[in-house]
Amino acid sequence: MKIGIIGANGYTGYELMRLLANHPRADVVYAGSRSMAGRKVPSLYPALSGVYDELRFESPNASVAAKKCDIVFTALPHGLSAEMGAELIKLGCKVIDLSADFRYDSIPLFEKTYEIAHPCPGLNEQKVYGLCELNRKKIVKSTKLVANPGCYPTASILALYPLLAEKVISPDGIIIDAKSGASGAGRKADEAFSYCESSSNFKAYAVTTHRHTSEIEEKLSAAALSPVALNFTPHLLPVKRGILATVYANLVPAAEKRIADVYKAFYEKEPFVKVNPEGEMPELKFVVGSNICRIGYKVDLRTKKVIIVSVIDNLIKGASGQAIQNMNIMYSLDERMGLPAVGNQL
């Protein structure tokens, strides 16, 4: 497969190139980036030298990309990404979009959250929301557009969806206290993300206002078959990679005994979602560097809650790895192809 990446200079673009270097069936032939146009890829990312020595960033152009590529990963700012995606699809490309543009079923909810008019609501209806473990069957040969989920939503929805769908927990009172590494903010020159400002620090941000809240709520409402309004609080960890979400949910009476079975029914055969026995909480380092989501939980009968810990690598399962997983599904390849199944730990 001939692969294009538009927005290739960002961290998700880098991660796509890095991971696809190990994919036996994929060949990155197009790297679109306005700001880096003309430069060789390794001049920005020296770790890629030796592998992408001849690849140059070029100014994003749908016609050029469509001619060269079977499938294009779009990773532009919201609004722009949908426009580029629409053009590419018209020109016959498949598109996996890593922006927020096609993540919502509800256009009004998207527009309220992102404060722009959706550039192509019609196209939005044809997308599949690419949370692979939930929507795998909807991604078929003829699928043209996959909306790759947000990083926080991936960790959060994988933890909560089964328990809501099976009525183990109440849709009310859910709290997601999430912590992410700095790469979640992307590649940019921003004083607030400088080493001196972020190292040895920790902070909550966007309290009650983070955009991923509505993405999570839309998907969980579908699971619960009733509206879910929850609290989502993101924090910035002094690490490069990884998301750990600590989730608090109210147990349906006596349902605590079904948790293990419900998770098992959903995830037992999944190569990239692993649920621990009760009480064994996964750590960030167990998944950083891999495409795996690990989930642990603990019941608190005193407060009638279950506390769930869900961890992913935000750039892999939370972005570029899941995008490749979606590509593999789309092309009926082994879903694991080119994707790391062992975290760094060390």
Catalytic annotation, residues: 151
CA distances from 217 to 156, 301, 342 (A): 10, 26, 30
Q: Name the residue nearer to a copy of itself (CB basis): 81 or 198.
A: 198
Burial class (CB within 10 angstroms; exposed 0-12, middle 13-18, buried 19+) of 2: middle
Eight-class DSSP state of 278: T
For the CB of residue 120, give the shortest distance to a copy of itself in the complex, in Å: 30
d(CA 303, CA 293): 27
Q: Name the residue nearer to a copy of itself (CB basis): 122 or 277.
A: 277
Q: Name the residue nearer to a copy of itself (CB basis): 167 or 240.
A: 240
In 3D, which of 240, 259, 230, 221 has the Cα closest to residue 318? 240
3 token code pair: 């692969």
Residues 6+ apart with CB under 8 A from 77: 99
For the CB of residue 208, give the shortest distance to a copy of itself in the complex, in Å: 5
For the CB of residue 160, give the shortest distance to a copy of itself in the complex, in Å: 15
d(CA 92, CA 122): 17
Is 252 in contact with 170 (CB distance < 8 Å)?
yes
Residues 6+ apart with CB under 8 A from 90: none
For the CB of residue 77, give the shortest distance to a copy of itself in the complex, in Å: 17
Pairing of β 57-58 and β 71-74: unpaired
Q: Name the residue nearer to a copy of itself (CB basis): 126 or 194.
A: 194
Q: Name the residue nearer to a copy of itself (CB basis): 125 or 280.
A: 280
d(CA 129, CA 317): 14
Q: Name the residue nearer to a copy of itself (CB basis): 140 or 204.
A: 204
241 token code pair: 């990679």
For the CB of residue 168, give the shortest distance to a copy of itself in the complex, in Å: 17
Eight-class DSSP state of 316: I
Burial class (CB within 10 angstroms; exposed 0-12, middle 13-18, buried 19+) of 277: exposed
For the CB of residue 28, give the shortest distance to a copy of itself in the complex, in Å: 12
For the CB of residue 69, give the shortest distance to a copy of itself in the complex, in Å: 21
Pairing of β 94-97 and β 71-74: parallel
Q: Name the residue nearer to a copy of itself (CB basis): 11 or 266.
A: 11
236 token code pair: 């910035």
CA distances from 250 to 92, 218, 293, 300, 325 (A): 47, 19, 23, 10, 32
